[in-house]
Amino acid sequence: MYRSGGTLPRPQQTRIMIVANQKGGVGKTTTTVNLAASLALHGARVLVIDLDPQGNASTALGIDHHADVPSIYDVLVESRPLAEVVQPVNDVEGLFCAPATIDLAGAEIELVSVVARESRLQRAISAYEQPLDYVFIDCPPSLGLLTVNALVAGAEVVIPIQCEYYALEGLGQLLRNVELVRGHLNPDLHVSTILLTMYDGRTRLASQVAEEVRSHFGTEVLRTNIPRSVRISEAPSYGQTVLTYDPGSSGSLSYLEAAREIAVRGATTSQHVLPQQEQRGPVEGAQ
């Protein structure tokens, strides 16, 4: 099991971060697992909730998620305690995962008639008693009931944007949904982080997209761009994040730096808190 020697500021309250973009292929799951692993490698306790029926985040973290495995489906539909489905990630100390199984594909239909269906995940996270610094929720590439559950459960939306043509296409609807959820269900919700992914510095298009995104979103955009990288693409097939698959690669170093930005930004702001958890200050010696 691997842990980096360095430390980052830890939030005083648990930060619940929803990684969402209804456009597929933008690096959403890759961003979820690698940011989570980066923070865990620097001393944080991090839970990844795989809310995508494809289960790609579970695969990338080496977590078994066949049909008989207790999963986030059981939490949402059967009201099973979250603690009963969370598994530790073998490669990274302090990193945990609530896996998704294919059963989750039917959850949106099954939840339609359930009372307070939009807040099932929020209640499950609130009842989770183990101390956590971060919760990352990997959303499906859609704006259905699963994604709404995620948006109700947390405060911070993280949007990965691919540095390709039509990068901003479809984001308007996601941003409108964020506003709707904030207005009706979760007043703390806001877009806190935009991350540019699959950046190829050799192309003029990538720099143009980056400039457009930065002009549109301003300070929410991280300074760090995630490069287009074969190592990042290969890692999930080995049940690993790029941090453990190739620690010295450009992709690994970029995600570590992006995680550092997120940690430092959060050290000075008030974040979403789990009611049962004690508030904790930065780790001793952290800068």
* Contact between residue 241 and residue 34 where contact means Cβ atoms under 8 Å apart: yes
Residue 80 has pLDDT above 50, yes or no: yes
Q: What is the DSSP string of 239-258?
A: T--HHHH-TTSHHHHHHHHH
Q: Under 8 Å CB-to-CB from 139, ≥6 apart: which residues?
A: 18, 19, 20, 28, 51, 52, 146, 147, 150
Q: 262: which 2 tokens?
A: 């997120």
- Give residue-wise pLDDT tens across range 244-283: 999 999 999 999 999 999 999 877 664 444 444 443 333 3
Whole-prediction pTM: 0.90
Residues pairing with 18 in the sheet: 137, 157
Q: Domain extents for the chain?
A: 15-266
| Residue showing tokens 């289960």 | 55
The percent of residues in the chain predicted with pLDDT above 90, rounded, is: 76
Sorting pLDDT into bands at 50, 70 and 90, what band is 238? very high
Helices (H), 18-94: 28-41, 56-60, 72-78
Amino acid letter, 229? S
Architecture of domain 15-266: 3-Layer(aba) Sandwich (3.40)
- Give residue-wise pLDDT tens across range 141-166: 888 999 999 999 999 999 999 998 88
- The C-alpha atoms of residue 23 and residue 25 are separated, in whole angstroms, by 7
pLDDT of the residue at 4: 53
- Angle between helices 28-41 and 250-266 in degrees, nearest 10: 70
Residue 84 has pLDDT above 90, yes or no: yes
| Of 145, 67, 154, residue with least CA distance to 113 | 145
